[in-house]
Amino acid sequence: MPIKLLQHKSWHVYSAENIARVKRDEARAAAQEEEDEQRTMLADSEARLDRLRKQADIASGKKRKRDRDDEGEKELERQLKGKGRAVEGEEDQVRAKIVRPEGGKSDKKEVPMTTNGHLNFWADLEAGGQPGSSKLESRLKKVLEAESDDSLTKVFLAKKGEGEPKGWYATEDGKTEKERKQGVEETLERTYRDNESKRIKNGLKSFVGRHASIERFGVYAPKLSRGQERL
């Protein structure tokens, strides 16, 4: 298959569409991997917290009294399980809240990073949010912005910004875009050069024939036509 037809194939790996598809897949995979890693860290921290609580209960040998710190731990545990509930009468308590967009809107409010007055880096996960989608959108936006830079540093068969190149076979007059852009003066100049080249070649051919005739017959004998030979 001619290489000039490769750009019209859907399986061409260096086409602009396939390059953009690969970048989107890579960004989506990276965002999914980061989200899974955050979930793993959250589950690990929850398991270690439960293990420390059990060890503390066994070491004390008795049930601890329910104080204000225990209430804060209970509230944190409920939020980790996604079952956080508002406690009546505690207006001073700060809770992690998340506002989900409706109808696929991109307007989002920042999630408070505090829980029970303490800094919490997993507030969005504990509140049931999906940070992976926002990160995926930001990654895709960066990928699309970087495509213009790639077009300046990389050269493919299908160049960006110039459209798909068309050969002479794809036009009605049988001319390429380059030939169509040439002016009348350049066309006349090219025609003059071609005519001069033909004239020089014809003169050289006539001189060679005349020289061969002189060497053979001692006199120049021009070639006669059929009508002249009959006379």
Tens digits of pLDDT across the chain (231 residues): 677 777 778 788 888 888 888 999 999 999 999 999 999 999 998 888 888 888 887 777 655 555 555 666 777 777 776 644 444 444 444 444 434 444 444 444 555 656 666 667 676 666 665 555 666 677 777 766 766 555 555 555 544 444 555 666 666 776 667 777 766 678 788 888 888 888 777 766 777 766 676 666 665 555 555 555 554
For 155, how many CA atoms within 13 A lie in the half-sphere containing its CB?
0
User: Model's pTM, two decimal places?
Assistant: 0.29
Q: Is residue 95 part of a domain?
A: yes
Beta bridge partners of 118: 115
Counting the structural domains of the chain, the total is: 2
Residue 137 and residue 220 in one domain: no
Residue 174 inside a domain? The answer is no
Residues 33 and 73 in one domain: yes
Domain that holds residue 81: 7-153
Q: Are residues 122 and 23 in the same domain?
A: yes
Are 189 and 149 found together in one domain?
no
Domain boundary among 106, 138, 153: 153
Domain co-membership, 148 together with 188: no
Asked, for residue 49, whether it belongs to a domain, the answer is yes
Report if residue 161 sits inside a domain.
Answer: no
76 lies in a domain? yes
Residue 57 is predicted with a pLDDT of 78
Does 193 lie in the same domain as 89?
no
Q: Are residues 12 and 71 located together in one domain of the fold?
A: yes
Question: Could you tell me if residue 176 is inside a domain?
Answer: no
Residues 109, 70, single domain; the answer is: yes
Q: Report if residue 220 sits inside a domain.
A: yes
Q: Does the residue 175 lie in any domain?
A: no
Q: Do 134 and 202 lie in a common domain?
A: no
Do 138 and 29 lie in one domain? The reply is yes
